[in-house]
Each structure stands twice: as structure tokens, then as C-alpha cells.
């Protein structure tokens, strides 16, 4: 690995130099605190491209007031080790003053994605994601960019942004990586107390119950969501936020469930908010 | 000139090909109806770059309900002649279905630029400008992009967007081109009836009166704006919208006038809305 680049200019120049020599570029934007889900993204990028860049930037624009910006886990040395092990060639780790020397006046609006589900639960979150991803993609230049399906609404937003605004980028969705007990990997899992960690797989189990209902023939979104919500209610530590069927492109609730739709859920476990989803 | 490119993919590929061969790219985004102001932008781009691209696209996103989208002048053949004469190598003239196959869900928000002056007078206009320019810049790729100072608030918006979102683009401001009687060139001048055309130079004369007040020692924005507004009132055909001092970056009204500030005005002449500005 060539080391850590700290400025947009250096990052862009390095990728431009490699592209000019004929290399294809893979890009994995992250907030650090890298886990096996990120490892899978980086490994996938390394398998499909000549040069792989990972960005590590905890973006304050996508955290709301009272959210976990301050306690979000940060460990650059550990992250660099993960990047190197998985075959990344470049790490772009800008300081706040490099990414947002002043608060951006011109931002990307997530539109309807900012009003639905995660957007409704976290005002400003989706706009903050769209804005930072736009800036990171502009810094990276033409590339394939890898995003996990765990953040399905973010994936839908970024995919739509790239199409609507013609970024020279191909978005590559990557499957969620799970613990053996089903819990989706997330940097926020580190917040869980032991009893919470023990209860946490109930979220995925609930989504599986919804999926089972669909496989058993249910197509009414109410029925599928109710099957999942019922299973989630069996774990009293969870305070559900939503359990919702969504089409994978617009993230709107469909009239009838069909293969490819996403059953998404968010719920609180103590002070930690977890999200997960399954595809029908 | 190599002819007219109709798709984003062709436009990007052609500029990528030339950049890969070492060419620097100049880009002039327009809505067509090219006049001598556009000629100056294209000539400036041709003087500073190896390859020059002009885009011609009447962007519906930046027109409000009841505005002049339908009657906006369109003459592609005449525009292509202008482009060739001024040294453009490529013209990107996409159809609506290429640029906006569906209404974009993810858009660029002009932020405060969308609330001030032109933004206040034309709700949605500045967001529509930001969104289409972002898409055009993404299609063009790394380049110098040329914008006229006549649309000073648009220039400020685009300059800020490029900085806030790290587009790989240098924005080059170009001076306003005027008729011998002072009227700033605009595609919308074609709407003017003969008596309106005769009255139209009063807008620039009013701005010059404000500039004269500054040169005579006035620094109070009220005094400078009043000098301009007084002169504009001498032409009763004009219905003023605003006469306003603004700093050139944020387009906010300064506490005291200083060199580099912009005195901007908008006014209606019959059914035509004209804007103009001078720099102190």
C-alpha cells in the first residue's frame, strides 16, 4: 500500500496517474471502524480493479443533533491494517478541515430518499450522505464504487444520484456480511452491552420471519411486515422504529410484495440504533 | 468541428479520448440562442485549451411555472455555425430524454443562493441551475468551464458548488459583452419590442449611476442602490424587481461597499425580465 493521502488534490492526482497508465479504479467509501463487511467490499473491489482506494472519513453532515458523532469509533491504525490485508492500494483519510473547510453552502438533496424511513427517522441524514458521497466521487474520479446492501436505502440513494447526475461511476452493491448468529456487521455493534449483543440477532430473525411469510405465499405488505414485527416484539429489549417493505430503487412501499423488494427494519437496543434488511 | 454529440456517453468518451492524448479541455455550457456573449466565452475557451466543447440544452428544471420555457429561442443550426466560427471542436446537444429521462429525484440544492435575489424572484431556478450544471460537469469531466459575469449570482453559485463538492473543474468568469448602447447581451433580448429595446439600456445606465455614486465616495449600500434605482425610475417602462449590492462570493448584502462587490439589478420590460450587474 502506498500510504495515506490527506488531501483531495493528492487523492485525485494519484488515481488520475494510475488511470492514465491504464488502471481501472475501485473505490470503497467508509467511515472507518472497518469490520468484515468492509473487508468484503475492499476484497470485491480488489478482485475487479487494478487499483483500489478506500476513503476513511467520519462525515458530520450525516449525523443529526444528539446522534453518535462524538462516540463513533475511530481507529486509523487498525483500519489501515485492514485495508492493506484486503488489497487496497490507497487510503484517502482527509481531516475535517480538508473535506469541509467551511460548511458547504451547495449540497446534494436526497429528495424523496430524505423523507422515507431512514430519512424520516434521521432528518438531514440522507442529504448528508448524498453530499459527502458526491464530493468523494468527484475526488476519486471515474471508478467502480462499492456499497453494502446493509444500508439498502443509502445504496438506493447513491445509485439514483449517480444516474440522475451522471457521475462517471458504476455503483456495485455488495451483500451484507453477518455474524454466525445472523447479526449484520456494523461499526455500531461495538456500542452493544453484552445482554444487548445477545438480543441483537432478533432483528435479522424478524426479517427472516417476514421473508418466510412471503415464501409461504403472502404478498400483502401488511402481512409480511406484521410477521416480522411480531417476531421482533418477542425480544422486549428492542424498541422498533419501523419494519417496512420497500422497492429497491425508489424505496417506496409497494402495493404487493414481489421478488427483489426489500424488507427493511430499524430498532433501538438500549442507546444503539440498528438497521438491517433482507431482499425477498 | 467533429459534429454534434447527442448522448452523455458519447460526449464523455470523446473528451476522455482527447484528454488521454494530452489535450486540455474547455467547456462552455449554454442554453443555445448563442449571441456575442457566448462567442466571447467560446473564444476564451479556445484560446486557453486544446479542445473546446459547447453544450446546448434548454434546461426545464431552471424555468418556473409561467416562465418562458416554451418560447425560449432555439435555433440549433445557427448555434452550430457560431460554435464552429469561434473554434469549438465539440457540441453536446442532448435531447430532454437524454438529460432527464425521468425527473431527477436527487438534485443539487443551491442553498442560500436559492433564497437570495434571483433565487427569491424565481423559486427553484437556482436549484435547477445547480442540478443541470452538476450533471453537465460530470458528463464533461476534468475541464475549465466558462461562465459569464452577466449572470453573476449563477457564477457565484457554480463557483461555490465546484468548491463545496470538489468537482475537478476550474470555473473561469468572463466579462459581460454589451451592445454599443450598454445593453448586456442576453438571449432574452430577442423578446423585446422595438420601444422596449430602445428603453432597455436604462438598466445598465442605472447600474452605472450606482457605480458613479461609489466612485464619488459612497459606501453605504442604501445610497448606492438608491442612486441606481433613481436612474432606473427615470425609464417608466421598467418595472424594477431589485437593485442590490452583493458580495461576489456569497451574494449577500455587505454592510459597506468595497471594490469587488457586485451591484445587481433585475427589472421587467413588458413581458421580458432582464438582469444585469456591474462590479465596483
Question: What is the per-residue pLDDT across B84-136, written as a single tens digit (0 to 9) for each?
Answer: 999 999 999 999 999 999 999 999 999 999 999 999 999 999 999 999 999 99
Q: Is B120 within 8 Å of B109 (Cβ atoms)?
A: no
- Cα(B269)–Cα(B257) distance, rounded to whole angstroms? 28
Whether A161 sits inside 8 A of B135 (CB atoms) is: no
Place of cell 442532448: B94
Class of domain A4-174: alpha beta
Closest Cβ–Cβ partner in A107, A109, A168 for B12: A168
Q: For chain A, what percent of residues have pLDDT higher than 90?
A: 98
A240 Cα to chain B: minimum distance (Å): 28
What pLDDT is recorded for position A3? 78
Give the per-residue pLDDT at B3: 78
Query: Which part of chain A is CATH 3.30.1300.10?
Result: 187-279
In a mutational test of the A interface, the residue from B165, B168, B248 whose CB has the highest number of chain A CBs within 10 Å is: B165
Interface contact B161, partner A, CB < 8 A: yes
Residue A150 vs residues A56, A83, A263, B27: alpha-carbon distances, Å: 18, 20, 11, 39
How many angstroms away from the CA of B164 is the closest CA of chain A? 5
Mean residue pLDDT of chain B comes to 96
Closest partner CB to A166 (pick from B113, B138, B166): B138
Pairing mode, strands B272-279 and B262-269: antiparallel
B203 contacts B265 by C-beta, under 8 angstroms: yes
pLDDT of residue A2: 62
What is the rounded CA–CA span in Å between residue A223 and residue A210?
8
Of B105, B141, B165, the CB nearest to A106: B165
The pLDDT, as a whole number, for residue B1 is 65
Delimiting residues of CATH 3.40.50.620 domain(s) in chain B: 4-174
Note the pLDDT of residue B146.
98
Q: Name which of A106, A113, A165 is nearest B160 (Cβ-Cβ).
A: A106
Mean pLDDT of B214-218: 98
Chain A interface disruption, residue of B135, B164, B248, most A CBs within 10 A: B164
C-alpha span between A82 and A93 (Å, rounded): 14
Cα dihedral A15, A19, A20, A23 sign = positive
Q: Which residues of B touch A8 (CB under 8 A)?
A: 166
Pairing between β-strand B107-109 and β-strand A107-109 as defined by DSSP bridges:
antiparallel
Residues of B classed as catalytic: 38
Q: Say yes or no to pLDDT of B147 above 70.
A: yes
Q: How far is A90 from chain B (nearest CA, A)?
A: 19
Q: What are phi and psi of A24, to 5 degrees?
A: -90, 145
End-to-end, the C-alpha distance of chain A in Å comes to: 39
Asked if the C-beta of A47 comes within 8 angstroms of chain B's C-beta atoms, the answer is no
Residue B79 in this model has a pLDDT that exceeds 70: yes
Can you give the pLDDT at residue B2?
Answer: 62
Residues in chain B: 280
Identify whether the C-beta of residue A87 lies closer than 8 Å to the C-beta of residue A26.
no
B138 and A109 within 8 Å at the Cβ level: the answer is no
CB contact under 8 Å between B135 and A111, yes or no, is: no
CATH number of B187-279: 3.30.1300.10
Whether residue A139 lies within 8 A of chain B, CB to CB, comes out as: yes
Residue percentage of chain B with pLDDT more than 70: 99
Structure confidence by residue, pLDDT tens digits, A36-74: 999 999 999 999 999 999 999 999 999 998 899 999 999
Per-residue pLDDT of chain A (280 residues), as tens digits, is 667 999 999 999 999 999 999 999 999 999 999 999 999 999 999 999 999 999 999 999 999 988 999 999 999 999 999 999 999 999 999 999 999 999 999 999 999 999 999 999 999 999 999 999 999 999 999 999 999 999 999 999 999 999 999 999 999 999 999 999 999 999 999 999 999 999 999 999 999 999 999 999 999 999 999 999 999 999 999 999 999 999 999 999 999 999 999 999 999 999 999 999 999 9
Amino acid at each position: 500500500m502506498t500510504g495515506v493521502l490527506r488531501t483531495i488534490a493528492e487523492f485525485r492526482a494519484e488515481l488520475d496517474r494510475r488511470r492514465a497508465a491504464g488502471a481501472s479504479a475501485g473505490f470503497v467509501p467508509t467511515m472507518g471502524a472497518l469490520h468484515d463487511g468492509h473487508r468484503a467490499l475492499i476484497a470485491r473491489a480488489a478482485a475487479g480493479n487494478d487499483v483500489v482506494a478506500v476513503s476513511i472519513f467520519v462525515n458530520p453532515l450525516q449525523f443529526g443533533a444528539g446522534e453518535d458523532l462524538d462516540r463513533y469509533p475511530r481507529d486509523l491504525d487498525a483500519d489501515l491494517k485492514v485495508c492493506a490485508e484486503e488489497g487496497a492500494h490507497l487510503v484517502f483519510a482527509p481531516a475535517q478541515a480538508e473535506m469541509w473547510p467551511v460548511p458547504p453552502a451547495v449540497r446534494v438533496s436526497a429528495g424523496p430518499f430524505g423523507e422515507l424511513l431512514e430519512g424520516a427517522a434521521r432528518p438531514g441524514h440522507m442529504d448528508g450522505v448524498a453530499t459527502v458521497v458526491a464530493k468523494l466521487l468527484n475526488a476519486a474520479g471515474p471508478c467502480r464504487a462499492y456499497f453494502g446492501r446493509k444500508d439498502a436505502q443509502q445504496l438506493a440513494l447513491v445509485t439514483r444520484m449517480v444516474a440522475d447526475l451522471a457521475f462517471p461511476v458504476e455503483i456495485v452493491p455488495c451483500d451484507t456480511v453477518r455474524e454466525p448468529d445472523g447479526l449484520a456487521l456494523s461499526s455500531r455493534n461495538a456500542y452493544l452491552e453484552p445482554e444487548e449483543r445477545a438480543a441483537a440477532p432478533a432483528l435479522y430473525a424478524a426479517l427472516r420471519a417476514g421473508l418466510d411469510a412471503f415464501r409461504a405465499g403472502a404478498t400483502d405488505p401488511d402481512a409480511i411486515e406484521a410477521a416480522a414485527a411480531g417476531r421482533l416484539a418477542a425480544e422486549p429489549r428492542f424498541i422498533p422504529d419501523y419494519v417496512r417493505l420497500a422497492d429497491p430503487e425508489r424505496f417506496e412501499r409497494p402495493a404487493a410484495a414481489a421478488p427483489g423488494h426489500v424488507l427493511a427494519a430499524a430498532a433501538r437496543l438500549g442507546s444503539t440504533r440498528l438497521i438491517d434488511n433482507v431482499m425477498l
